[in-house]
Amino acid sequence: MQEYLKILQEKIDNENYQKLMQIANPKLHEFVADSIELCKPASVFICSDSPEDIAYVRQQAVSTKEERALNIPGHTYHFDGYTDQGRDREVTKYLVPKNETLSEALNQIERQQGLVEVRGLLEDSMQDRTMVVRFMTLGPNNSKFSISCVECTDSFYVAHSLSLLYRSGYEEFKRLKPNAQFFAILHSCGKVDERMVSSEPDKKRIYIDYGTDTVYSVNTQYGGNTIGLKKLALRLTIRKADRESWLAEHMFLAGIHGPGGRKTYFAGAFPSACGKTSTAMLPNENILGDDIAYFRNVDARCMAANAESGIFGIIQNVNSKDDPAIWEVLTTPGEVIFSNILVKNKKPYWLGMGEQTPDDGENHSGDWHKGKKDAKGSDIPLAHKNARYAVALNVLKNCDPELENPNGVELAGVMYGGRDPKASVPCQQGFDWEHGIITYGASLETETTFATVGKEGVPEINLMSIQDFVAISLGKYVRNNLEFGKKLKKPPLVFGVNYFLRNKDGKFVNGVRDKHVWVKWMELRVHGEAGCIQTPTGYIPCFEDLKKLFKEVLNKDYTRQDYLDQFTIRLEANLAKLQRVEKFHRDNVVDAPVELFSVLAQQRQRLETAMKKHGDCVSPFDLTSR
């Protein structure tokens, strides 16, 4: 008998052993056996995705007090540790074999050294706890987009979250051939305190062994570090997509309605807290996904699918006026997990919810009261800025009916957006696929936000909003995007958006809901039904088109001064940004495509020519309409 089968028979009771053996994959059996031997759980639960097994996971999440019930039936809440409130770049590393190299912009450690460290932290970490084994699928089941995944975790909160965010994969695993490949994730909370919160944050490690498609996560509970099918698996997916000539993107997918009852699909890449989910959730449009999308070339058409089937969304500023679809889900009975909000009398509260909030309660810091200070003497807000909600997409009334389409949907447009207070206009279109991918995607600059551990408000390049997750060279990633578009009959139009442009007084020039107008303009552009003005950085909307759209979409009067505030091209600021972009690529992207610097040089020439003619800024009324 193979050694790993002996381990499984000895460590798993007969009922769970039989469920595991329904999957005829020796590599899977070996991974589960290795995880058991390493972590030493008191028991093992194999979740078969039966209604009874799913209900058990949900019930145990509450019984272990990792989650606690709220007043509304089906709603629960969870707290992560005070310093475990976002993706942690510093301790998230790629395990790189000695004979390989990744871009210096990526956090990495020599593979054997990293394995010794992280497996040492995982050793005996599940004593007195249950290891839950979950089988899930990235992408629609039984389709060209499907990727099978298994996660072993000692957190019933993580196991429960997987039920909401991903497609059940047990039956998919059973259908696979014995030698089928899959992604594997091993996670342990490590030591926990009386609140069931990981208590050794200094020993937090999230390591990605891309050579074996395995992720290790320990001493953390925050979903972005532990729900392994999210950004951790995205790193593995990017390598798989590279090998197989398709694209894995950090993008939402949405169906935007146009004249005559048509629906047009768009994707969008935004760093966290830059407007991604709110764009995906625009009122009266359809959401297909809010975070990770797969693109495949099918008969020279760009077909896209959502890797996930749920939303792990930032809850800050979700309110009844601006977010009616998600607000309804968060305030009516149904399965929802809140994390790192404020709770009082079994009711959740969060920042920017548009309702009066209490002056005390319980939050991620423990018992909280208004004016409570942290160790540095700073005020602790009532809820964390990165507080989240987890829900299944299909509970939303505006969920797109194509969510589970195994063929995906045809993509017509792609947008890139970040927090750029000084340079980029709210909305513009690339001159072509190459120009858009390079000047909006590969040049995406944003200010850091609370969604990542570290200092906020620091401007940085976040290439295509996927830089942290790219497990191949950054230059190759850009090249893959360029080549992908070249093979399409009609590549999606590429747009740059920026909801965070400020005027000289520091005030935003965009209203919160203005994004809906920009998206509606993009929908018209895809179908050749709106004009544009050519600027040095791309095509922008015409004033008359926006005036009409603002009235139709928002019932809002739009003035020439609004247009000037939003679409005056700030030449000096764009040149300064371009210089930062070029420096980043020369310093960090050693294999950058030749086209990248050529396109950036052309952009520089256009900006400098315009600056000689117009000075620091140029009014859109002084440019040529097309």
Catalytic sites, residue numbers: 274
- Asked whether the beta carbons of 579 and 572 are under 8 A apart, the reply is no
What is the residue-wise DSSP string for 392-445? Answer: EGGGSTTB-TTTT-TT-EEEEEEEEE---SSS--SEEE-SSHHHHIIIIITT-E
List 217's β-bridge partners, or say none.
187, 206
List 147's β-bridge partners, or say none.
138
Task: Supply φ then ψ for residue 359, to 5 degrees.
Answer: -95, 0
**Backbone Cα Rg of the chain:** 24
Alpha carbons 500 and 419: distance in angstroms, whole number: 5
CA 196 to chain centre: 26
Contacts 24+ apart (CB under 8 A), 621-624: 621/543, 621/564, 623/533, 623/534, 623/535, 623/569, 624/533, 624/534
- How many H-runs (helices) and E-runs (strands) does the chain carry? 18, 34
Taking the chain, what is the end-to-end CA distance rounded to the nearest angstrom? 73
Alpha carbons 626 and 607: distance in angstroms, whole number: 19
Two structure tokens written together for 513 = 């809901």
Give the strand pairing for 336-339 and 75-78: parallel
Instruction: Using alpha carbons, list the distances in angstroms from residue 188 to 41, 137, 179, 200, 302.
Output: 10, 21, 27, 12, 38
Alpha carbons 1 and 7: distance in angstroms, whole number: 10
Alpha carbons 226 and 329: distance in angstroms, whole number: 24
Q: Select from 378, 385, 381, 451 the least CA-distant residue to 419.
A: 451
Q: Which residue has the tokens 């977010």?
A: 323
SS (H, E, C) 312-372: EEECCCCCCCCCHHHHHHHCCCCCEEEECCEEECCEEECCCCCCCCCCEEEECCEEEECCC
Alpha carbons 273 and 386: distance in angstroms, whole number: 8
Q: Select from 479, 478, 491, 484 the least CA-distant residue to 443.
A: 478
Q: What share of the chain is helix, strand, coil (3-state, %, to 5)?
A: 35, 25, 40
Order of strands across the sheet that contains 75-78: 68-69, 75-78, 336-339, 388-392, 310-314
- Asked whether the beta carbons of 281 and 311 are under 8 A apart, the reply is no
